[in-house]
A = this chain, B = another copy of it.
């Protein structure tokens, strides 16, 4: 073994033992396990689409999902010194799945209705990255609401990586949501979105400024969007006090940092 290698190993070992970033890293969740939970839930909630499925399959796989989540949540709670009851959280998550499935049915309809290029609802479930992003968001949001740390973000970042849609698990999104040409979309942590909202590629619903850094933690930093709003591609909506009223249409490339009422003219270019 060369000297170069020996010296480098020694320096890296020094960092491993002393850098604060690596303490207790062993308690972090297993990313592959979380992603496999998403794959299993996709197969459970959309039987027949991603492999065969029957009642036995659903039962067996759901028990598996339960066990994985229990293990990962217990570990991550220890890491965070969190007081959540892992078993309780998992049971609530499992119990809520049929309700999530019903919400996703409404999203499917919104996608099909909204996109003339969609041949059928089957295509939406099977192939639409925007729908995949929402599927993952709705599950991650459930865990976020149950105050499970780390895992919701692993889920949404997985969807982000596959789709280019970055929805923070903390955002609140209503029924019948639709994202077309899903790519380059950002929806921040304290965003609130009403029902029947349509969003296109490149839309940002973000914070006005993050100069405050960690001091802004937990504050409302992102817009509130009413019902029946359409936001065309490339539009940027910023700020925690920005409110987009029911029924408003935001044109493409608009840059919005104030509230918009129904009927307001929005200048673009």
A97 on the interface (CB 8 Å rule)? yes
Cross-chain contact B236 with A253 (CB below 8 angstroms): yes
Copies of this protein, total: 6
Q: How far apart are the CA atoms of A163 and B158 in the complex, in Å? A: 10
CB-CB under 8 A from A119, the residues of chain B are: 80, 149-150, 153
Q: How far apart are the CA atoms of A182 and B183 in the complex, in Å? A: 12
Cross-chain contact A201 with B55 (CB below 8 angstroms): no
Which residues of chain A from 195 to 226 have any CB-CB distance to chain B below 8 Å in the complex?
Answer: 198, 200-202, 204, 206-207, 210-219, 221
Write 24 A-B pairs (CB below 8 A) sorted by A numbering. Answer: A1-B55, A4-B91, A5-B94, A9-B58, A15-B98, A21-B46, A21-B122, A22-B47, A22-B48, A24-B48, A25-B46, A25-B122, A54-B59, A59-B60, A112-B214, A114-B210, A116-B221, A119-B150, A127-B150, A161-B162, A164-B164, A184-B184, A200-B206, A255-B269
Question: A: which residues have CB within 8 A of B?
Answer: 1-2, 4-5, 7-9, 11-13, 15-16, 19-22, 24-26, 28, 31, 44-50, 52-60, 62-63, 66, 79-80, 91, 94-95, 97-98, 101, 105, 108, 112-119, 121-123, 125-129, 149-150, 153-154, 157, 160-164, 166, 168, 170, 180-186, 188-189, 198, 200-202, 204, 206-207, 210-219, 221, 230, 233-234, 236, 238, 252-255, 267-269
